[in-house]
Amino acid sequence: MAKTPAQRIKKHGAKAAVPEHSLPPVINPTTQRTPQKAQSNSRLIVIAGVVASVFLFWYLHLLTLNQMTQLSGGLAMPDSLIGGFSTDYIAQLRNAMDDAARGQLNYVHKTAGTLFPLIFGFSWLLLIGTNVARKSWRWAMWAAPLLFAVAHLWSNVAIDSVLASETPDAGSVALASAVTVASWVLFLLSLLCGLVAVFLGRKDATARKDADPTS
């Protein structure tokens, strides 16, 4: 059995013949994660998130909640009322919907009503983060989608609560209405922040290109 270099040195001392060897080469030394490639990957994630958000908005507000009016005698779901709703409207809606219809709305809130604000908020955080370089602006613009996600999830719970009550409390209805209105306002504000972020990102990219004539 062949001796190792350490065994040869121990037996023969300085006269030991130790074969030359070298470390194995690095695998794929040409593979590099450049900033351009990382930015391209982040843009793909943002695009996927925006597409998913658009689909979920359509599915939740334009399809599912609109179809729910068939179970309420044509009355719109509270989620769709941008201007809010009153105690009388909730009482009228509750009388028009049976337990099965209210249970279906609760299921919508737990599925698409939960996925939409979470995916939208996460996607808009990435959209703003990848396009806005200034840290102070980035944090200020991040507030809108974060607060929207909180308000939307809160409105789901508040609406289910007032519809489940036999005699809706005026204070609870007012809170649910206020949170729903805030959710819509923050959603529109988030869209505006997204447009501003894209504009700033393109502006910065143009400025970098003009500063680097070799690009």
Query: CA dihedral defined by 67, 158, 81, 52, rounded to 10 degrees?
Result: -60
The identity of residue 85, as a single letter, is: F
C-alpha to C-alpha distance for 184 and 84, rounded to whole angstroms:
10
Q: Report in angstroms the alpha-carbon separations of 42 from 5, 39, 74, 126, 128.
A: 50, 5, 43, 8, 11
Residue 42 pLDDT: 80
Given a contact cutoff of 8 angstroms between Cβ atoms, the answer to whether 78 and 54 are in contact is no
Mean pLDDT of all residues in 38-56: 88
pLDDT tens by residue, 6-28: 665 556 655 555 455 554 555 55
pLDDT tens by residue, 81-135: 999 999 999 999 999 999 999 999 999 999 999 999 999 999 999 999 999 988 9
Given a contact cutoff of 8 angstroms between Cβ atoms, the answer to whether 131 and 57 are in contact is no
Residue 43 pLDDT: 85
Measured from the Cβ of residue 107, the count of other Cβ atoms closer than 10 Å reads 12
Query: Which residues neighbour 148 within 8 Å (Cβ) at sequence distance 6 or greater?
Result: 117, 120, 121, 183, 186, 187, 189, 190
Q: Is 175 a residue whose pLDDT tops 90?
A: yes
